[in-house]
Chains A and B, each alone.
Chain A
Amino acid sequence: MSQAEARQTQRVVLQVNGQRHELDVEPRWLLADVLRHQLGLTATHVGCEQGVCGACTVLVDGKPERSCLMLAVQAEGCEVTTVEGLTPAAGLSPLQAAFQQHHALQCGFCTPGILVTMEALLRENPHPDEATVREALSGNVCRCTGYQFIVDAVLAAAKEGR
């Protein structure tokens, strides 16, 4: 690819958190970067850009996806949901409230990716056991909590019907 081509943009239509956005993006731009820097949705964090840490996880058509492994142009026609889209206008969602109640976060950097992943889990399986929660969580790295209080929070949210 020539340098000039690298800077050329193309028009995409993205559906994010229920809103339609028409954007000019370079084809190489990551979905994570477009969400953060073009749309200002900075809750989605970038931890490794290698698809390992899970901090950038968003829902694409309801399924957790690494937004660092997806180009924004690939998201055309999909419904993208970030933590902003799972957060009520005021206060916290039941899962978010359970995270606070159980001290399931410390530095908070991995938290949005984990909330998104766990929302998807609970939609698919409203009453998971601990092993299932840990398995679903295993694609998200948290360096602070040792995961135990995250697991507790998810199980508590499931028990209360999220």
Chain B
Amino acid sequence: MRTVPVRPGPAVPCGLPAAARPIVRLCLVALVLLAFAVPAGATTDDDQFAAAVDALALGSYNDRVAAIEALAALGDPRAVAVLEALMARDLYTRKDTGAVVIGAPADSRRQVRPVDPVTGTIGEPVRTRSLAKIRVNNRVRRAIRSALGALTLADPEPARRLDAAQAVFTARDPDQLVPVRRALEHEADPDVRAALVQAAAAIELAAGSPAERLAAIAVLAESSDPAVQALLSERLLDRDGAPVEPDDEVRAAAADALDRIEQRIAMWRLVGDVYRGVSLGSVLLLAAIGLAITFGVMGVINMAHGEMVMLGAYTTFVLQDAIRTHAPGLFDWSLLIAVPLAFAVAGLVGIAIERGVIRFLYGRPLETLLATWGLSLILQQAVRTVFGPTNREVGTPDWMQGAFETAAGITLTYNRLVIIVFALAVFAVLLAVIRKSAFGLEMRAVTQNRRMASAMGIRTGWVDALTFGLGSGIAGIAGVALSQIDNVSPNLGQSYIVDSFMVVVFGGVGNLWGTLAGALSLGVANKLLEPTVGPVLGKILVLVAIILFIQKRPRGLFALKGRAVEA
């Protein structure tokens, strides 16, 4: 064992108002004990544990330190509550029976509720006079802290062990070095191991010899955690700019390690930005892909496209509402059920719009634009009348919740990932429908030469209606996805309409691959600009860039060639 400088810590954790503290503490003690009461039998014998607890009350301070170490060595989670109580001077021996109890606060200041450390049962309040407080000194406190660290580091739950290791890293308490080393000996979980190694290095950096500090820096340099970055830069310079580290060699190593960590963090930030960009791009792709069909294939400017997205989102809302009341068990499946339903609702509304209004306006794109804008106003107001103007809550199934934590503290949420995959799947299915199915063939025939297609026996009017329905239905599907990341309100569609037109125009009309490329590049460009210039200016820059780009290539990235262009 190595000797380490003694640093007295605060004996009693505080922070709550004094009046609230007793109640909170009572609850905490009870909770901790109850939580451990069940698995406890599995880890140690009750009698053995009770004997170890009773040993705390006997003998001198030296004996007490030995008893604490023995108790910690049992590895019983129930020991945590006991040791915390001892630290807070809440551990007593009953004068009548000699049993060790935890004193939980009672209503009166002169009474405490005795809690049995083994079973966790709370007894009737007793007078404090009938109890003897178990005394502690600084040496005992240090032993308690070390034992507590070891106990949490030995918790059967890896997540708790990870928390404990991270707590040690932040506290950098030299007393914890030994428990950390001991925990490292039999730690199997790789994440916890890494955290423990880092914690040990952090302690050595603060309190070790120059050689140990050098070794610690070598360990820390492998990290890409912003906390490590902060730790190293603190070590280099304090707040007034004076160097903290006395040893030149160590200082140079720390500066070098800091550079490497910063580079790695910058790389992870970039990964995070690109992920967010691809995620935004996939949202744009979903919103624009239906537009690419109605606008790109049919030449119809559907300003009500955003409202189809909104209808899809509201379909999800209504469906979830019905599931909650009639079949709560299906809730995890609600989004999957909503996809075909939203497709049907938006698709049928789209077919109705095509048959009712748009077919009278073929060949007059600007009039179509105005009429569909009018329809979008009507749809918005209709939804506002039925569902009210406020945002509606659409739930997220459990399997979409959560996030990855990457190294540099960047979180990548699952729902975004699901949307990226979903958008690509929709894109692939649509491409297959247009390329491989009979309907796709008819659709392309009508697009390329309407009269010839008609002469070949294709019902062009019907194909028009179905194509418009397909485009609208896909917008409805987009609505299901958007309901997960955006507010479901009557204005939902409005916020996407300009962006989706930009995507289609940028990518090139009449080309689905262009839409894919356009959506992803606009999404990534937006998110890469965001950290440097801010979200609003970034968006403005992207818009201006598109306006300028269109001057150079008036037909977009992937332009159609041939006669169809002039039509």
A binds B: no
